[in-house]
Amino acid sequence: MKRQRIGFIGGGNMATSLIAGLVADGYEPSHLILSEPDGLRRDALVGRFGIGVGQDNRDAARQADILVLCVKPQVARGICEELAATVQERRPLVISIMAGIRLDLLQRWLGAGLALVRSMPNTPAMLQAGATALYAGPAVTPAQRNQAESILRAVGLTCWVAEEGAMDTVTALSGSGPAYFFLVMECLEQAAIELGLAAETARLLTLQTALGAARMAVESSEPPRGLRQHVTSPGGTTERAVATLEAGGLRELFTRALHSARNRSVELSSLLSDNDG
C-alpha cells in the first residue's frame, strides 16, 4: 500500500487531515501528490509535509494510483470532466469525499468502468478522531477496498455500508452529528450558569464530562443504555434528570432530527443530479 502514489485533488481541511494522518502513519510524503490552485495553501502543505505537487489536476491524476477527490460539490462536475480522459487512461482507484455526489454522477462525469468509492468523513477527522462511512462501487476489488479503508482510517474509525442510500443516513448521523453534541454541551453549560456556576467552571465541567462519557462508551463493552443505567441510581439526582428529559420527548426529538437531516441529504443529492441533467 505504501508504494502506491496517492493524488489529492483539492487541498482543503479534509485533504490536509488525510495527508497529516497518512504521514503520521509513516506514508512516504513524496508519494502523496497534491493539486491545489491556491498557491499559499499549496505551499503551506508542501512546506509542512514535504509532499509532491502536480502542475495541475490532470498532472496529479496522471501520477496517481489512487485519486482522492476533495473539492466542493458545486465545482465537482467541471473538475471531474477535466480529469475524465486522464483517469480513463490511468484507471486509478477513485475515492470521493464530496458530500452528496452519488456514484452514478461520478460515472457520468468521469466515464464508465472505474473503481469508485464514496466516503463520508466528519469534521473530527481534522483531529484524527473522525468517523467515516464508505460505499464501494461494483468495479472495486477487495484489494482496493482495503486501500480505501487504509487511507480513511488515517483520520479515525471507518466502516462500510452495503447500500449507497445508507450514505444519507450516515450524513444525518455522523456527518451532522458533531453539531448535535455541541448543542447538548451548549445547553448544559448555559443551564449550569443559570444555576449559579461561574462561566469558566461550567464550561470546563461540561467539556470534561462529555469527554469522559464518550471515553467510557468507546472503551466499554456495554451499550450506552447499560452505561446510563449504571449511573442512574434509584431515587437519585440522575434518575430525576433523565426522567425529565424522557418526559420532554428527547428520544422522539432526536429521531425527528435525524429524519430531517437524512431527508435534506436526499434533497441535496437530487438537486445536484437535477442540475447536472
Q: Are 151 and 95 in contact (CB under 8 A)?
A: yes
The number of residues making up the chain comes to 277
Q: Does 275 score more than 80 pLDDT?
A: no
- Condensed to tens digits (0 to 9), the pLDDT of residues 245-263 reads 999 999 999 999 999 999 9
Q: Does 2 score more than 90 pLDDT?
A: no
The torsion of the CA quartet 232, 234, 238, 241, rounded to 10 degrees, works out to 120
Beta-carbon contacts of residue 153 (< 8 Å; ≥ 6 apart): 132
Give residue 124's pLDDT. Answer: 95
Q: With cut-offs at 50, 70 and 90, classify the pLDDT of residue 3.
A: confident
Look up the CATH superfamily of 6-167: NAD(P)-binding Rossmann-like Domain (3.40.50.720)
Residue 251: enclosing H or E segment and its boundaries? helix 250-276
The torsion of the CA quartet 203, 209, 211, 214, rounded to 10 degrees, works out to -140
Q: Are 16 and 125 in contact (CB under 8 A)?
A: no
Q: How does DSSP classify residue 9? A: E
C-alpha cell at 178: 458533531
Residue ranges of the chain assigned to CATH 1.10.3730.10: 177-258
User: To the nearest whole percent, how much of the chain has pLDDT over 90?
Assistant: 94
Q: Are 97 and 14 in contact (CB under 8 A)?
A: yes
Q: How does DSSP classify residue 173? A: I
Residue ranges of the chain assigned to CATH 3.40.50.720: 6-167
- Condensed to tens digits (0 to 9), the pLDDT of residues 31-67 reads 999 999 999 999 999 999 999 999 999 999 999 999 9
Give residue 273's pLDDT. Answer: 77
Kindly list the distances between the CA atom of residue 169 and the CA atoms of 7, 161, 180, in Å, as whole numbers in the listed order.
28, 10, 15
In the chain, how long is the greatest CA-to-CA distance? 69
Output Rg (C-alpha) for the chain, integer angstroms: 22
CATH match of 177-258 with 1.10.3730.10? yes
Residue 24: enclosing H or E segment and its boundaries? helix 13-24
Mean pLDDT of 18-29: 94
- Condensed to tens digits (0 to 9), the pLDDT of residues 130-157 reads 999 999 999 999 999 999 999 999 999 9
Q: How does DSSP classify residue 35? A: E
Q: How does DSSP classify residue 223? A: -
